[in-house]
Amino acid sequence: MIRTVLFDLDGTLADTAPDLAWSLNALLKEQNLPALPYEDIRPVVSHGGKALIELGFGLSCDSDKFETLRARFLDIYCNNLTNQTTLFPGMETLLEKIESKGLNWGIVTNKPAWLTDPLVAQLNLTQRAISIISGDTIEHRKPHPAPMLLACEQAGSEAHECLYIGDAERDIIAGKNAGMKTLIALFGYIGVNDTPEKWNADGSINHPLEILDWL
């Protein structure tokens, strides 16, 4: 029986891509470069700031300019966390249903806490989440199972009593290695070259409310 539902943040719980894309294009504008189409940026969002800088500027992480650009990008994003960011359609209803069933829910993300915490607070979710594990909460991050197991501990559940939903392969690897049930959020930031059918999850969903069928 599932007692705890855990979510990846970007591309699963919240649709953060519009603000991340806006921030990347704002940085490109500062550097006198053309903006990128939203459709090109969206699939990269789940892979974090480094991947977005690589996409926007065609630089590898060992470039002299890379860290300066990444730091500026994160600065812009930090000041625009929830201008357009919302929960995915149906997610608020899902959270209410989870809570009404006497279950709890939490977040396990690779996003650093200095971005995760204000974003979750601005979405008015901080007090509702039983656990919020960021990419720097402990030494390890996904796909390592340690963050998942910490979330289980904070939720008061065993790993086999937890369901983890994510939109990237590392999410499924982390959940499976922790001993959880896993679902792929196909409504998230999955690129054309991704192969979720090969990730060996327990299932996949096209809409958040489909999670209720697994509960």
| Residues forming the active site | 8
Measured CA to CA in angstroms, residue 165 lies from 13, 28, 29, 152, 174 at distances of 9, 32, 35, 14, 11
* Helix, strand, coil share (%) of the chain residues, nearest 5: 45, 15, 40
Cβ 154 vs Cβ 9: under 8 Å = no
Q: 19: closest CA among 111, 113, 69, 83?
A: 83
The residue whose two tokens read 């209720």 is: 212
Cβ 100 vs Cβ 7: under 8 Å = no
DSSP 31-65: TT-PPPPHHHHGGGGGGHHHHHHHHHH---TTSTT
| Spatial separation of the C-alpha atoms in residues 51 and 60, rounded to whole Å | 9
